[in-house]
């Protein structure tokens, strides 16, 4: 499997419909995998119409995993970012913030440092609560611990953890959502990514006369011109070349193409190596850094839990964090709303009793029914939300016969559930985000 970087820049405003319901004119803040696949397929038909086998291989066989494209525009001026932007800024993946993240209610957001290292404009930092929850559940499991002591990992002594730590701010903490990107120069430094929307005004046209109809003026929310989106395409080695053909092309995405909307510039290029500790890189190197990442998570979890006198008896701890919505069915073809131990066993092919689900923070979202490739309606799906987190303990060590390591690596590389060619089911094992705390 090769990982290719895909970037789209809006040359005109974009309208990607979040919902095909009759009154649903709300625009999404990302480019759905289905829209991306449809748009690349249309471009391929137009430019390389004689390469029919390639078209089948790329778009019809579900062997290329196209991504959802996430907003990659910086939410602050580039001036203070400049020192970090100079080197390969394009290759850092944009990731969703896990549901366990929290930030200050008044000044929420990642630290923003200027060139001298001062935090401007004021943002009080983001913390992740997953390890606190781990300690809480492990203390509860012990049974003999009184309730007021179990709650300490979540609330801290005298409720300090419910408040913002930043320079005595003491405002309460709130959930924090969105997308972020790490900096290549300093992986601890993260920036929120955002997408700007604008309102377009349109006049209604009189069908008989072809002129402006009196009294019909409407507006529509669109993604602003110049917005940047990016994602990673996962492609079998032998098809890499066919996708690299799109190294600088223009095409259309979304709706409203006859109203001057939807033109994008596409760039597909090779990703760099795995030096930022994420999964993208050469196989052997990737497996090594994958293993390091999992062990670091396990180590840190034990340290944090032991500090609260919680016992870490399981052989190994890891978390699954969804980087895209995941559509999973149970045996009766009903939608799953979470990933429990039995589901994980099914996904990895490992004995169900090996795993125990310690904690989860998950939500369910509806996926609109529209097939962009065929331009036809499709059944709606329900998916486990992006950013959902599942914490597991395992009775098997990571390197017992390498079985667990290989199974988890495959899970991350291949994803889980349905419609993976449209960017669904991307999962990250032991996401480093859970170990990074700007707040205490």
Applying CB under 5 A, the span of 122-130, 188-196, 389-397, 408-416 interacting with Zn ion comes to 122-130
Using CA atoms, how far apart are residues 231 and 425, in angstroms rounded to an integer?
A: 14
For 60, other C-beta atoms within 10 Å of its C-beta total 12
CB of 357 to Zn ion, least distance (A): 33
- Binding flag, residue 171, Zn ion (CB under 5 A): yes
Measured from the CB atom, is 104 or 264 closer to Zn ion?
A: 104
Across the strands, what pairs with 190? Answer: 182
Indicate the residue among 54 and 171 with the shorter CB distance to Zn ion: 171
Smallest distance from the beta carbon of 129 to Zn ion, in angstroms? 16
**Range in contact with Zn ion (rule: CB under 5 A) among 8-16, 56-64, 96-104, 245-253:** 96-104
Stretch that binds Zn ion, among 92-100, 171-179, 261-269, 355-363 (CB under 5 A): 171-179
State the Cα–Cα distance between residues 62 and 34, nearest whole angstrom: 12
By CB under 5 A, is residue 169 in contact with Zn ion?
Answer: yes
Q: Give, to the nearest 10 degrees, the angle between helix 283-307 and helix 403-414.
A: 110
Q: Which of 9, 124, 182, 323 binds Zn ion (CB under 5 A)?
A: 124
Residue 166 binds to Zn ion (criterion: CB under 5 A):
yes
- How many Å apart are CA 387 and CA 435, to the nearest integer? 15
Q: Verify binding: residue 427, Zn ion, rule CB under 5 A.
A: no
Q: Is 104 in the site for Zn ion (CB under 5 A)?
A: yes
Output Rg (C-alpha) for the chain, integer angstroms.
23
Residue identified by tokens 């919902």 is 19
Q: Which is nearer to Zn ion, 124 or 183 (CB)?
A: 124
Minimum gap (Å) between residue 166 Cβ and Zn ion:
5
CB 260 within 8 A of CB 202: no
Which range, of 117-125, 264-272, 380-388, 392-400, touches Zn ion by CB under 5 A? 117-125
| DSSP classification of residue 102 | E
Which residue's structure tokens are 């290989």? 406
Which residue number, 32 or 439, has a Cβ lying nearer to Zn ion?
439
Half-sphere exposure of 428 (CA within 13 A, CB side): 24
Count the site residues for Zn ion by CB under 5 A. Answer: 7
Q: How far is the CB of 405 from Zn ion (least distance, A)?
A: 40
Helix H or strand E segment including 303: helix 283-307
Per CB under 5 A, 155 contacts Zn ion: no
Piece of 11-19, 102-110, 382-390, 408-416 that binds Zn ion (CB under 5 A):
102-110
Instruction: Tell whether residue 133 is a contact of Zn ion (CB under 5 A).
Output: no
Q: How far is the CB of 159 from Zn ion (least distance, A)?
A: 15
Q: Which of 415, 412, 431 is nearest to 423 (CA)?
A: 415
Long-range CB pairs of 260-264 (<8 Å, 24+ gap) are 260/12, 260/13, 261/12, 261/13, 261/14, 261/15, 261/200, 261/222, 262/12, 262/14, 262/15, 263/10, 263/11, 263/12, 264/8, 264/9, 264/10, 264/11, 264/14, 264/39
Query: In terms of CB distance, is 118 or 218 closer to Zn ion?
Result: 118
**Nearest CB to Zn ion, comparing residues 169 and 345:** 169
Q: Phi first, then psi: what are they for 70, rounded to 5°?
A: -100, 155
When the beta carbons of 174 and 275 are compared against Zn ion, the nearer one is 174
* Chain centroid offset of residue 216 CA: 40
Q: Name the segment binding Zn ion (CB under 5 A); options: 101-109, 335-343, 367-375, 382-390.
A: 101-109
Instruction: Give yes or no for residue 224 binding Zn ion (CB under 5 A).
Output: no
Contact present, 202 and 220 (Cβ < 8 Å): yes
Number of Cα atoms under 13 Å in the Cβ half of residue 170: 3
Smallest distance, Zn ion to C-beta of residue 97, A: 17
Q: How far is the CB of 174 from Zn ion (least distance, A)?
A: 10
Q: Using the rule CB under 5 A, which residue among 164, 261, 304, 427 binds Zn ion?
A: 164
At closest approach, how far in Å is the CB of 178 from Zn ion?
A: 17
Q: Which is nearer to Zn ion, 168 or 375 (CB)?
A: 168
Q: Name which of 108 and 425 has its Cβ closer to Zn ion.
A: 108
Give me the residues that bind Zn ion (CB under 5 A), please: 104, 107, 124, 164, 166, 169, 171
């Amino acid at each position: 499997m090769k990982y290719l970087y895909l970037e789209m820049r809006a040359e005109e405003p974009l309208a990607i419909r979040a919902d095909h319901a009759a009154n649903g004119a709300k625009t999404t803040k990302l480019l759905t995998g289905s829209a991306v696949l449809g748009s690349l397929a249309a471009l391929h038909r137009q430019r390389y119409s004689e390469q029919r086998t390639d078209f089948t291989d790329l778009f019809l066989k579900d062997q290329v995993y196209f991504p959802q494209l996430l907003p990659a525009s910086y939410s602050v001026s580039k001036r203070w970012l400049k020192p970090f932007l100079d080197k390969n800024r394009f290759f850092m993946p944009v990731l969703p913030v896990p549901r366990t993240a929290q930030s200050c209610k008044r000044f929420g957001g990642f630290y923003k440092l200027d060139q001298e290292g001062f935090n401007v404009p004021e943002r009080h930092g983001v913390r992740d609560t997953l390890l606190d929850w781990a300690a809480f559940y492990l203390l509860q499991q012990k049974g003999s611990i009184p309730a007021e002591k179990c709650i300490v990992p979540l609330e801290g002594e005298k409720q300090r953890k419910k408040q913002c730590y930043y320079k005595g701010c003491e405002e309460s903490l709130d959930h924090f959502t969105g997308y972020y990107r790490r900096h290549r120069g300093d992986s601890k430094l993260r920036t929120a990514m955002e997408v700007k929307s604008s309102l377009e005004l349109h006049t209604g046209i009189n069908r008989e006369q072809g002129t402006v109809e009196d009294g019909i003026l409407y507006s529509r929310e669109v993604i602003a011109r110049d917005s940047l989106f990016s994602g990673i395409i996962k492609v079998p080695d032998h098809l890499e070349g066919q996708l690299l053909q799109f190294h600088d092309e223009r095409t259309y995405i979304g709706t409203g193409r006859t109203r001057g909307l939807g033109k994008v510039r596409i760039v597909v290029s090779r990703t760099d190596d795995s030096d930022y500790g994420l999964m993208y890189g050469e196989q052997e190197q990737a497996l090594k850094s994958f293993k390091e990442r999992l062990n670091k998570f396990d180590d840190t979890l034990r340290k944090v839990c032991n500090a609260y006198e919680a016992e870490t008896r399981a052989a190994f701890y890891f978390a699954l964090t969804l980087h895209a919505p995941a559509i999973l069915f149970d045996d009766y073809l009903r939608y799953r709303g979470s990933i429990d131990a039995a589901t994980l066993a099914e996904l990895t092919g490992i004995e169900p009793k090996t795993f125990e689900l310690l904690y989860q923070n998950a939500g369910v979202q509806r996926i609109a029914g529209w097939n962009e490739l065929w331009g036809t309606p499709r059944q709606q799906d329900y998916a486990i939300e992006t950013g959902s987190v599942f914490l597991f303990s395992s009775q098997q060590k990571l390197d017992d016969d390498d079985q667990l390591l290989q199974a988890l690596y495959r899970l991350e590389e291949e994803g889980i559930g349905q419609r993976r060619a449209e960017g669904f089911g991307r999962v990250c094992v032991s996401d480093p985000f859970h170990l990074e705390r700007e707040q205490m």
